[in-house]
Structure 1
Amino acid sequence: MKDKITRVETYKVRIPRDTPYLGELNKDEYVNANGYFVRGANKSIYSIYDQSLLVKITTESGKVGWGECVAFVGPEVTEAIVKTIIEPQILGRSPIDVVAIYEDLYNAMRVRGYFGGFYLDAISAVDIALWDLKGKILKKQVCELLGASETQKVKAYISGLPVPTTSERAEMAKFWQDKGFDAVKLPIVLNVNEPEVEVKSLRDAMGKEAKILVDMHWRYTSLEAINLIERMNQYDLYLAEAPVKPEDVEGQAHVVRSVKTNVGIGEELRTIHEYIPRFVNRCMNVIQPEMGRIGITAFVDICRTSMGFNQLVMPHASIGIGIFQAASLHASVTLSNCVYHEYQHSIFDKNLKYLTGNMSCSEGYFYLSQEVGLGVEPRNEFLQKYTY
């Protein structure tokens, strides 16, 4: 007899930071009463805290699965969706049927236009928790459930060089290179020199074999992006991420047709239905799916479909305590076209202590935790101190 879901609990995470994500605020940026601010450089809202939403699902036998979704803005919104819309639909069902549950949850709101945003974020946390539960019930790692267990590591690239000057950023890049990481990404719209100067500085410091990536934060028109990428590519740019606005499908395709380096997009997309027109129109040659926004079921669907369009996979890693990161790693080791996974060293390293298990990142690779399911769970002391 299948074990059935009896309880769904949510925990809103709020962890103080010494400095806001992506660095100190500029003089014209201010924090509002809810702890949020807008970055002038990319017009996006951020929190002064590390925030996410955890979901704990319990079965009648007492087994527990943990999920997490991206919620660094408005975790209360995502929590309300889980508790009022999703929980009543999954009580009494079996975690073994996780893919069917995902499809049912998606179908429940699709004709009302909720095929993105907070609703899909909420589904992703539940989906991850159900895969974790399924692994625990069947006594297998999630990567085994997805069809691959021999490989237990994923190549990592360094994301972010949070120091104030060009020379210090080059020094930090070289520091990580000496630790075994051969690729680094810099957000070029935030508090940096001329982008081509930054790329040249990194190239001079790291040598010709290193891979240099830039995050363009959807800031440019297609023509602006093309001209800027060409200037940076004098120094052998490996990838330009998010060059134009997310909705500008034709602009994305125009950039890809016009430049001689990889173009990556995807962290903002939630479903295969959003990816398909971008695959068909060749809007990228690298996809960057964000596990904390899509969940394991959609992640695998998107990445396996990408193989039919000769895409590379380099998963995005957003702000969280590491549960959706673990899910992303388990899915990534099953993909032959996954070449790197983002390593947010300023987030991942400091939050590892909040989790059980032995997930890690060193010498250029992420390593999976060896326990069944996802292999990680939040520690009780963390839940008591940093959730509400």
Structure 2
Amino acid sequence: MTERIAKIEVFSITIPRETIYLGEARPGETVNEKGYIVRHGNRTVYPTSDRTVVVRVETTNGAVGWGETYGIVAPGAAMAIIDDLLGPYLIGRDPRDVVIIHEDLYDFMRVRGYTGGFYLDALAAVDIALWDIFGKLTNLPLVKLLGGQRHAHLPAYISGLPKRTREERASFAAEWQEKGFTSFKFAAPVADDGVVAEMATLRQHLGSDARIACDMHWAHTAEQAIAVIRAMEPHGLWFAEAPVKPEDIDGLAHVARNVSSTVAAGEEWRTVYDLVPRVAKRACGIIQPEMGHKGVTEFMRIGQYAQAHHLELIPHATIGIGLFMAASLHASAALSAVTCHEYQHSIFEPNRRLLKGDMDCIGGFYHLPTGPGLGVEPSEEALNLLQKYQ
């Protein structure tokens, strides 16, 4: 085959939301002129619309692959990296050399310290697009290229309960339970009455068999996190996510050693090198790779390293039109250690119209898209929303 990469384009998409991610603004939280809001509970900035960065790669013979990464904050940063740096170095490469290309592009900036952030986000989008092309060229779904399909369907947990009061959030969770979902996660920054009260109310509404996790959003010191987790444990805490700041590896390990519940972490990591020191300290029992930050190549490296150390995988998934969501499902279905996958219903459901394909989440389970590569592509509506990098 003489197939070579001929063209790379990068776009952003903005999708209005009826309700701000994590629910309406709390007292003192205001939206600035750029459409950003800072949540006081975790001091983190969020957009008031869904925004994503999409990459289109085309080969000399007309094969097209689609990739996606985060564009929720300063999308122009990732777009500039792709347009100015990564894209030109892809021209003429064999699109089937996906892992080699990933390693080459990673090497470009590693000695300058660009082993994370926008640079790796941009690389993730390119990596996903190349895997999509590889699947299309071989007429195989991505999961088969990654070693085969271990899971026919993936259990999904409901993530985020964007209602104003604790009772409303619990009732909302119960509505999803009636649809067949048995696992749930709430966000501590918007648990206005405290996480213990939130846990107790959710347990009361969902019953003893439901699994309930808490996303602590990196907001605590290690000692604070231990106290909070222990207070939630009598109500049957499934796992505690992101209890301390991402850079506090020793603190994370300290928490893991001093609570009964499993500690989860990993959405913000970019490469397997982020996982290695945490595994060495047994700092978490659940690993949460996020495809939009990692791409297929690093997602699989993280997954396989976690498996080799007998850790559980529950991938993270959030804002986008669904391209990197499809990639995450394919990669997750190829990994035996995956036991569940996050379901961001407030994004997946309203934005699913922007994809062509049969990817679905129903009755508590994800169903992989069928067809070669990712099995999904932007719909006509999505194509009309594409804004090219200027």
Q: Is the 8 A contact 2:218 2:243 kept in 1?
A: yes
- Matches of 1:162 and 1:73, distance apart in 2: 20
Q: In the TM superposition, what whole-angstrom CA distance separates every residue of 1:139-173 from its partner, at most 9, and x where no partner exists?
A: 00000101113633211000011111222222122
Give, in angstroms, the shift of residue 369 of structure 1. Answer: 1.1
Instruction: Judge conservation of contact 1:212–1:237 (CA < 8 Å) in 2.
Output: yes
Larger deviation, residues 168-177 vs 116-125 = 168-177
Cα displacement string for residues 247-277 of structure 1 (whole angstroms, at most 9, x for unaligned residues): 0000000000000011100011101111100
Corresponding residue number in structure 2 for 1:322 = 322
Moved more, 191-200 or 178-187: 191-200
Structure 2: distance between partners of 1:98 and 1:143: 15
Q: Do 2:13 and 2:385's aligned partners in 1 also have CA atoms closer than 8 Å?
A: no
Aligned to 1:138: 138
Aligned position for 1:33: 33
Residue ranges of structure 2 left out of the alignment (5+ in a row): none
Quote the Cα distance in structure 2 between the aligned partners of 1:41 and 1:197: 16
Match of 2:86 in 1: 86
Q: How has the CA–CA distance of structure 1 residues 191 and 227 changed in structure 2, closer, same or farther, with 3 Å as cutoff?
A: closer
CA distance in 2, matches of 1:197, 1:38: 24
Q: Which residue is 1:300 aligned to? A: 300
The 5 A counterparts of 1:210-249 are 210-249=210-249
- Aligned residue in 1 for 2:121: 121
Instruction: Give the CA deviation at 1:195.
Output: 1.0
> CA–CA distance in 1 between the matches of 2:183 and 2:31?
33
Q: Distance in 1 between matches of 2:251 and 2:74?
A: 30
Contact 1:70 / 1:318 at 8 angstroms: preserved in 2?
A: no
Aligned to 1:281: 281
5 Å-filtered alignment, 1:251-290, equals 251-290=251-290
The alignment of Structure 1 onto Structure 2 pairs a total of residues equal to: 388
Quick one: distance in 2 between partners of 1:106 and 1:44?
A: 27
Given the alignment of the two structures, is residue 75 of structure 1 paired with residue 67 of structure 2, yes or no?
no
**Corresponding residue of 2:106:** 106
How far the C-alpha of 1:302 sits from its partner, in A, is 0.5
Where 2:97 maps in the other structure, the secondary structure is helix
Write out per-residue CA displacement over residues 180-216 of structure 1, whole angstroms, 9 at most, x where no aligned residue: 1110000022142221111111112212111100000
Q: Gaps (5+ residues) in structure 1?
A: none
1:194 aligns with 2:181: no
Match of 1:46 in 2: 46
Letter in 1 for 2:183: A
Distance 2:386 2:201 in 1: 39
1:189 partner SS: helix
| 1:28-85 Cα deviation digits (max 9, x unpaired) | 2222222222111111111111001000000000010000001200111100000111
**Over the residues paired in the alignment, what is the CA RMSD in angstroms?**
1.1
SS across alignment from 2:189: coil
Once the two structures are superposed, residues 72-118 of structure 1 have per-residue CA deviations (whole angstroms, 9 ceiling, x without a partner) of 00111100000111011111001110000000000111011110000
Amino acid at match of 2:262: N
Aligned with 1:366: secondary structure?
strand
1:13 corresponds to: 13
CA-to-partner distance for each residue in 1:353-383, whole Å, 9 max, x for gaps? 1100110000110101111110000113322
* Equivalent-residue separation in structure 2 for 1:102 and 1:67 (angstroms): 14
Q: Distance in 2 between matches of 1:231 and 1:27?
A: 26
Q: Distance in 1 between matches of 2:120 and 2:297?
A: 12
Question: Once the two structures are superposed, what CA deviation does each residue of 1:306-327 show, in whole Å capped at 9, x if it has no partner?
Answer: 0122110011112000000000
Q: Which amino acid aligns with 1:312?
A: E
CA contact (8 A) 2:191 2:198 kept: no
What code does the residue aligned with 2:374 have?
Answer: L
**Who is 2:97 aligned against?**
97
Q: Is the 8 A contact 1:199 1:232 kept in 2?
A: yes
1:168 alignment counterpart: 168
- Aligned letter for 1:297? T
Q: Matched residue of 1:174: which SS? A: helix
Whole-Å Cα distance in 1 between the matches of residues 179 and 19 of structure 2?
A: 25
Shift of 1:218: 0.3
CA contact (8 A) 1:242 1:265 kept: yes
CA distance in 2, matches of 1:386, 1:209: 44
Q: Which residue number in structure 2 is paired with residue 360 of structure 1?
A: 360
Mapped to 1, the partners of 2:166 and 2:36 lie a distance apart of 28
Native 8 Å contact 2:24 2:162 kept in 1: no
The alignment's TM-score, normalised by the length of structure 2, stands at 0.97
Residue type matched to 1:185 in 2?
K
